[in-house]
Structure 1
């Protein structure tokens, strides 16, 4: 059973879309469809991460005022602001009308965890204040769009996955740990009290496979989680003497403690085979949505999403890292490390139509608030915009007033190239 904005609005009266004019950009492009995949907002560490970090550092970590893993009030407010800003951008472009859209203009679907559902609600409240919309989500804890990497239909071939992980590691786990030893030592100095018998950094890294055929690197996980928690502490607005135990007072200093966080993604998430297995279902639904209403549209035996101007999916950094890897898209934004996915960071697929020719183009971009914008709950406007990077998804892309636009046909080849048809399952948003 799903709680569905799309379905509830249909039942509410099958309203006709209000009349409003799509607005062409100064150089003649009209935005006519957007699919965006957003990470959830600021949260405390999950319960398992909290236990791990407490054990390996032998010290008390900051106390949060919400259950571990849940969206914080600060995180909700930051997501509302990102939603307000995106709504303003999309209204200015004429994609959505002023006021409350009807069922044919919006589909919002969230991963079924509290932090993703609450972030989806925050984005809706920011985009459409007073409309009372609620996101779609499945009952239970697993949705094939977002938790495919934990479900049998997208199971890995362990030997193939392990081979690609070892290649990313540079041949061996031991060699990789030796390269990253200085960063482990830095985290040990930050997180361990001098006189304590602190086990962090003393454990050899070990590549492990769990019962579901997924891999982790024991020993690396603690340092990776530590860096992410330090970033969350800063983003949450904790006093600076509590962020990384007083050792990270600027965004750059926070990012310097996230090198092992990036390493975990480099070695376990940003692996072509693993990404393709874990996000083909999600990428396929994105592709089907982008094709609707064009000559490239086709029926899919697995099911297709409703044809709406705005499709908003609220997910996890794992999902976005898989999609990024499948596309071959990389970014470096502000003080964040390369390819970092901050809270409410959003992968955007924007379809444009050129007025004079009727040709379609696709803009693929990643957009995120800076660390200080999240910490300070900065109002986003013309003077304070989010960080963003565009992706050249095809040859003959054009620099335009709305971003880097690539011919839709060629861009869709890039979108579809790593979808694994054996890692798909029937799906419906109804």
Structure 2
């Protein structure tokens, strides 16, 4: 399906509550927003500490120093999430889902986060932006001393549970087929030049001097996510670290050691990051297994509970992997995110909206990807009427949308049931 961009359906002024609707939004007059469930990636964080050895050995250059510890939400990431929270508050007020003045009712908002510093802090900053001075609880499990698979909240834990040997083989085949369909040679070449790979410890001490010629190995074991060992993992780690530095606002010459990249080169480099994730989770059978706890939660919330007894706004804060596996499990059509290099960007939100038609009395689903552009993140831009966040309408294979981006709620129920088989 051709990728679609959403008309700016809700915009706001950061310093107030002025909202404008475009002419393209007029068909919404016959619809009422009943419920919103948001699946969010945490906002801007520092590079992962477990990648330190890979980063150090893959280049002779020194990496910039961060103020925060590894794996943690940055101060800037918190500010960006406040902007997004404010934006959602104004939209929901304007749509009539939440009161225009004062705080929402206690049971109308439910915010749940994975048990990680970066996800809990993201949820807290969103709450500050959306509901200042309101008593809104961010629900989460106790934070562990160390990030491990068994310390993940089960709802957000994206690990293989299928122990069948045939599942392993089918998963490896799907990963290998996807890898063969991607042309990553130019991305590897760009990265090797950028990081001076030929003079790195990996080359001089380990005799690993070519990312292009090295082989990838696929690791599929219960209790972990599908893993890739080899040059693509190195490329993923390097590209991700460079992207985080760009987002954080490090000087360009410091990020890439004097080699300032064009937007096209950033796009090329991030094919390694996006490709890694696509290879991991593109097969629906794999994603259905990994995303089952999250899909089950969404199904129980949106279908298993009458809408009048369920919160009007549910925010779930997890990781890019949660979004990638969820969209794959639901068989989302291919999409593009304009003005972004990531397919699951920092702070991005998949927004499931339940609308009712006042005339037909039918319920409809609308899904939007709401996210900040690369420049909005790097420049820490406030989201305003003239500078709104980006919007893309998503569609699911089993839930065809109309011109306004709506599909039948009954079709969405079937999609969820299929994903849970």
Q: Which residue of 2 aligns with 1:4?
A: none
Task: State the alpha-carbon separation in 2 of the partners of residues 162 and 61 from structure 1.
Answer: 38
The CA RMSD measured in Å over matched residues stands at 2.6
> Normalised by the size of structure 2, how large is the TM-score?
0.82
Q: By how many angstroms is 1:250 displaced? A: 5.0
1:208 aligns with 2:211: no
Q: Sort the Cα spacing of 1:255 and 1:364 in 2 relative to 1 into closer, same or farther, 3 A.
A: same
Task: State the alpha-carbon separation in 1 of the partners of residues 302 and 229 from structure 2.
Answer: 39
Deviations 1:339-387 (CA, angstroms, capped at 9, x unpaired): 7111111111100011122211110121111011111121213322222
Q: Which residue of 2 aligns with 1:255?
A: 267
Task: State the alpha-carbon separation in 1 of the partners of residues 122 and 193 from structure 2.
Answer: 34
Task: State the alpha-carbon separation in 2 of the partners of residues 213 and 135 from structure 1.
Answer: 27
User: Are the counterparts in 2 of residues 353 and 360 from structure 1 also a CA contact under 8 Å?
Assistant: yes
Q: Sort the Cα spacing of 1:336 and 1:416 in 2 relative to 1 into closer, same or farther, 3 A.
A: farther
> Normalised by the size of structure 1, how large is the TM-score?
0.81
Task: State the alpha-carbon separation in 2 of the partners of residues 240 and 354 from structure 1.
Answer: 50
Task: State the alpha-carbon separation in 1 of the partners of residues 299 and 135 from structure 2.
Answer: 29
User: Are the counterparts in 1 of residues 73 and 118 from structure 2 also a CA contact under 8 Å?
Assistant: yes
Structure 1's consecutive aligned runs of 4 or more residues displaced over 6 angstroms after TM superposition are none
Q: Any idea what SS the aligned residue of 1:390 has? A: strand
1:335 aligns with 2:345: no
Q: Sort the Cα spacing of 1:292 and 1:395 in 2 relative to 1 into closer, same or farther, 3 A.
A: closer
Q: Sort the Cα spacing of 1:363 and 1:156 in 2 relative to 1 into closer, same or farther, 3 A.
A: farther
1:363 aligns with 2:366: yes
Deviations 1:195-244 (CA, angstroms, capped at 9, x unpaired): 55553645432223457364322112110121112221111111111223
Q: By how many angstroms is 1:50 displaced? A: 2.2
Q: By how many angstroms is 1:34 displaced? A: 0.4
Unpaired stretches in structure 1, ≥5 consecutive residues: 1-23, 298-305, 421-430
- 1:54-93 → structure 2 map (5 Å cutoff): 54-93=56-95
Q: Any idea what SS the aligned residue of 1:333 has? A: coil
Query: Aligned pairs, how many?
Result: 378
Deviations 1:17-56 (CA, angstroms, capped at 9, x unpaired): xxxxxxx975311101000000001111110112211122
From 30, 47, 50, the counterpart of 2:49 = 47
Q: Which residue of 2 aligns with 1:27?
A: 29
Q: Which residue of 1 aligns with 2:4?
A: none
Q: Which residue of 1 aligns with 2:192?
A: 188
Q: Any idea what SS the aligned residue of 2:58 has? A: helix
Q: Any idea what SS the aligned residue of 1:399 has? A: coil
Unpaired stretches in structure 2, ≥5 consecutive residues: 1-25, 145-150, 204-208
Q: Which residue of 2 aligns with 1:160?
A: 167
